[in-house]
Amino acid sequence: MKRSIDVLKEHSTGEPGAWKRQAQEELEAWDWKQYSYMIAIKARRQMGRLQMTQKQLAEAMGCTQQYVSLLLSGNLNMTLETIARLEKALQFTLLGELMDLEPQYPRLHPTSQYLSEGPAPGYGGDEPR
Amino acid sequence: MRFKDILGNEKLWATVYDGETEDVLTKTFSQWLDLNSLYDFFERNIADLTAYFHITDISQAVFETVSDAISMKAMLLEISPDAHLDRLFRPLENSRANEMILAREKAKGARQFGHASWLRIYALKSEPDTYLITGGAIKLTRTMGEREHTRKELLRMDQVRAFLLEQGAVDLEGFKDYLS
């Protein structure tokens, strides 16, 4: 007969407190993750309105479906380029509203063929390879 | 079956089930903080969400879950070495009168958004102020036996309890009785 705490120690994985350290790091990442969650939730709402699947969103953004899944999980630290492509693909505004805060600056519109015809070369800076 | 000392003070432990690389607390929070997993869960359980919480918007339920989960994680981190975990955990059965060896316990998320939290962490009470986490769930129904995913948590608690008893484990009071 043993105390239950002794059985736990006998079958311990080691690394005491490792969970605490990892959780601390994750909480520190909350500063940016909270935005990632909100963007993902807003994107999913808009996908619902447009009746758009993840596959269709991936095609519209010019990236893989796995990348879209990661984006919609709320755990992706997105670049501004990714957010802009998401806005364009889903025809809604996330950061686009920032432009309206400084009305003295006119919106810049791409005019080159390169910008209007799809992903730039090397696009996917935050996409896992 | 192995056990991880979560906070590094031998007060809060989490089970690592056979065939798993992560402890069950890490896995539980990963599910609660993954929107793909949450949308999938609430789409499958929309009837319970509506019936018990009067929520029809899945995105609202997902948002509340993430907010609640991160608050719960922060609360676990803020537990000081001298704090009493007995204040965090409650007996699983609300009507339980007598303490039993390796009793089944639960911790709930904080009340936010105008209703009780649906997040649960399940544990066995090893000794006063010492707990072993066996799992966690989003509990939308009144009782755990009503749905498969919460029924599974009941089975896991029994499975871990049986393992500890097989190893000869008793709680502190039982050990004192044995010595006397």
Provide the pLDDT for residue B64: 94
Interface contact B103, partner A, CB < 8 A? no
Residue B4: HSE in the Cβ half-sphere, 13 Å Cα cutoff? 21
Residue A119 dihedral angles phi and psi, to the nearest 5°: -60, 140
**Helix (H) or strand (E) segment spanning residue B4:** strand B2-5
Residue at A117 is within a domain: no
Provide the pLDDT for residue A98: 74
Residue at A73 is within a domain: yes
End-to-end CA distance of chain B: 31
Separation in Å, CA A20 to CA B17, B24, B67, B105 = 19, 14, 19, 21
Task: Say what the alpha-carbon torsion angle B84, B90, B92, B94 is, to the nearest 10 degrees.
Answer: 150
Residue A104's identity, in one-letter code, is Q
Say if residue B70's pLDDT is above 90: yes
Contact B89, B106 (CB under 8 A): yes
What domain range is A90 assigned to? 53-96
b/e sequence B25-59, b meaning 16+ C-beta within 10 Å = bbbbbebbbbbbebbebbeebbebbeebbebeebb
**DSSP classification of residue B86:** G
Say if residue A70's pLDDT is above 80: yes
The rounded distance, in Å, linking the Cα atoms of B68 and B63 is: 9
Say if residue A116's pLDDT is above 50: no
CA distance A10 to chain B (A): 9
**Percent residues over pLDDT 70 in chain B:** 89
Q: Do B178 and A17 touch (CB under 8 A)?
A: no
Interface contact B165, partner A, CB < 8 A? no
Average pLDDT of the segment spanning B102-131: 90
Say if residue B110's pLDDT is above 70: yes
Q: What is the DSSP string of B97-136?
A: -S--TTEEEEEEPPPBTTB---EEEEEEEEETTEEEEEEE
Give the confidence band of B129 by pLDDT, cuts at 50, 70, 90.
Answer: confident
Say if residue B174's pLDDT is above 90: no
User: pTM for this structure?
Assistant: 0.85
Provide the pLDDT for residue B5: 94
Provide the pLDDT for residue B170: 76
Tokens representing B89 are: 């955990």
| ipTM above threshold 0.90 | no
Provide the pLDDT for residue A97: 72
Residue at A5 is within a domain: no
Find which of B5, B70, B171 to mutate to test the A interface (most A CBs within 10 Å of its CB): B5
Number of domains in chain A: 1
Find which of B6, B11, B13, B38 to mutate to test the A interface (most A CBs within 10 Å of its CB): B13
Task: Say what the alpha-carbon torsion angle A64, A65, A69, A75 is, to the nearest 10 degrees.
Answer: 0
Give the confidence band of B99 by pLDDT, cuts at 50, 70, 90.
Answer: low
Which carries the bigger pLDDT value, residue A14 or residue B28?
Answer: B28
**Chain A residues with CB inside 8 Å of B23's CB?**
13, 19
Provide the pLDDT for residue A126: 59
Tokens representing A120 are: 């730039």
Residue at A69 is within a domain: yes
Provide the pLDDT for residue A115: 47
Say if residue A119's pLDDT is above 80: no
Residue at A45 is within a domain: no
Per-residue pLDDT of A33-43, as tens digits, reads 999 999 999 99
Q: Do B170 and A11 touch (CB under 8 A)?
A: no
Give the confidence band of B168 by pLDDT, cuts at 50, 70, 90.
Answer: confident
CA distance B98 to chain A (A): 19
Give the confidence band of A114 by pLDDT, cuts at 50, 70, 90.
Answer: very low
The residue in chain B having the minimum alpha-carbon distance to the alpha carbon of residue A41 is B59
Give the confidence band of A17 by pLDDT, cuts at 50, 70, 90.
Answer: confident
Residue at A24 is within a domain: no
Segments making up each domain of chain B, as ranges: 2-170
